[in-house]
Structure 1
Amino acid sequence: PHLPSKEQKILDRILVKLQKKRDRNFKRMVQFLKGSDYKAIKQTFRVWIKNPQSNPTANLKIGLSLPDLLLPVLSQTLLHPGWLATPDRSLETVQSKATKSKEMKSKATKSKGAKSPTKDSTVSASEIGQNEISLDVLNNWLDHDGIVLHDLRKQMKQLRYQADFFAPHYDATYAKTIQDFKTIQDLLGTLQDYWVLGQIFAKVQGKTWQESLPSLTAQIHRDRWTIWQQWEPLRQRYLTEDTRTELRQMMLSPTR
């Protein structure tokens, strides 16, 4: 991102430290790939490929087995608490944190003679089920309680790969649904990437890194808001009875 020169210098220092860490991790990975443990893993796979072993249920016809293979993963995904995780469900806690944070910022800005925050930091967000939710509330929630979305992303990834593997046995609607799964996985993955980025910055620059990188922080907050606006309609759709029934019926009906 385009940052003021002062922030860019700070970011450059962080990136240098991260590159050094990456180089160390890369060396460890190369050592592992050259080591005996990895060679043993590869040899185990070679042996199995030459003489694959499976349990008796492998003899069942694929069309008969598919619903039983897919529905358990679908059930785990649809019952995940991440579908119900939104800022408004923990709004009182987050607003309390945000209020305290704003009070501290207000005192700091007054002492420096700075202007108070404008209404631009508050966005009408009926999509999230509240009359008014600020960017601060959303981002505070994502920072402190949004980890459940990362777990949902992992569950969705499992469902997507499992479903994709059996795509040849279903119709075009099934293929379109897999794209839905991918979109959800990507959106939640991007939110998780920003969370990880914040954790890295906190470790390298300190917990107050946002104060030294205000422009970058603002950009991250705006990006997360945009992603949330794309995620929210999907979240609500997957909570409806119609969508869930369609998913179950679809997996019960392989075409071959």
Structure 2
Amino acid sequence: MDQPYLEEAQQNEMSFVDHLEELRWHIIRALGSIAVFSVIAFLAKGFVFHDIILAPSRPDFFSYRMMCELGNKLGTEALCIDKMTFSIQSRQMSGQLTMHMMVSFILGLACAFPYAFWEIWRFVKPGLYPQEQKSSRGAVFFVSILFLMGLLFGYYVASPISINFLAGYQVDPSIVNEFDLTSYVSTLTTMCLSCALMFEMPVIVYFLTKAGLLSPEIMKVYRKHAIVIILVIAAIITPPDVVSQLLIGMPLMLLYEVSISVSSSIRKSDLKKLNQNNA
């Protein structure tokens, strides 16, 4: 094997190693941000659990008060929640400590998500073509905003209504609802994170359309199939009640329609640029 070929191979190998090293540091910084927020959440135990995690289990929660005000304007007290008919217990010796650590990590992940995504995007963006970089401008902003909107929707809308429905459901008055802390926190975090991820649908559709893997025509043709899939996903990620499934399914259907508009806009823009180049 001649010397020039060996030198070129060594340069390519070093370039690949350099890229791995750069990716490693981006991942380290992303994980570091999650760790920092997790530690902060762990130290703020009282605020995190009393004012955030356990807030939907009390009748003075913001969403319940807004529902009651809405009911008063409509002339009905059916939407007012005076008391929660359940209690939360920890039935394992290390249950509270384990849950404290898990909740701290989840909050750290949620709070650090914009920065962590920005770090990964900084590594991916230089590998894109200039036109692709231009078309993906603002990706971090929109991904972060949609994630936050989904998180807030899950926390203030989907979770409290689901928790209230499940807490008040009884097959017989003699059965008392005493939920384990793990079950309660799992329901709350699953609803919130699922909504946060589902709200990223328009961004995913945007990039798939730019890549030529998706079109508004395809999305319109398979709209009925998508509705069925959305309802199935809602049934999987929510507790087994129709109310929770509709609370997740309806916004997802709306996001699907918004995604069709996004895909259509991208397609029109690409066709316009193609016509200009041909002219």
The answer to whether TM tops 0.5 is no
TM-score, with structure 1 as normaliser:
0.28
Considering Cα pairs closer than 8 Å and 6+ residues apart, tell me whether 1 or 2 has the greater RCO: 1
